[in-house]
Structure 1
Amino acid sequence: MKLINWSYAKRYNIKAVFDEFPHVVVLFRQIGGYYFIFSMKGLTKEHIPTRQDYVRMEYLLNKDLGMLDAYIERKYKK
């Protein structure tokens, strides 16, 4: 999976698009020192991301923004 594009959105959010889900806009919010997935727009019943996809998306965005250390050290890890 690759991060195609990201941009800032209203209220300190970030919108991102990934190559495996090009029709889905993923909205991230910041908590602590890292970003997490808040919502997704454009999902279809045929192609729903798994938990592993969510984690990979969060990882890629935080890596691109230089917040990977905070993301790895977060309290809730599974």
Structure 2
Amino acid sequence: MRLEMWSYTRRYQIKAIFNVFPHVTVLFRQIGGYYFIFSMKGLTKDHLPGRKEYVQMEYLLNKELGLYDNYRQRKFR
């Protein structure tokens, strides 16, 4: 999976598009010092992401923004 595009939106949100799900817009919100998936637009019943894909999307975005350490520490709490 690869992060194709991301941009800031209003109120601490980021929208992103990934190459595996090009028709889906993923909205991330900031909590603490990292971003997590808040919602997804454009999902179809034929191609739904699983938990593994959700974690990978969060990892890629936080790594791109330099917030991976904060994201990783969240996992250990």
**TM-score under structure 1 length normalisation:** 0.95
RMSD: 1.2
Counterpart-to-counterpart distance in 2, 1:15 and 1:34:
14
What letter matches 1:42 in structure 2?
Answer: G
Q: Within 2, Cα distance between the matches of 1:75 and 1:55?
A: 11
Structure 2 alignment gaps of length 5 or more: none
1:10 Cα deviation after fit:
1.1
Q: What is the identity percentage for the equivalent residue pairs of Structure 1 and Structure 2?
A: 69
How big is the shift at 1:12? 1.3
Q: Where does structure 1 lack aligned partners over 5 or more consecutive residues?
A: none
1:75 offset after TM fit, Å?
Answer: 4.9
Name the TM-score, length of structure 2 as normaliser. Answer: 0.96
The letter of the residue matching 2:53 is D
Consecutive aligned runs of 4 or more in structure 1 exceeding 4 Å deviation? none
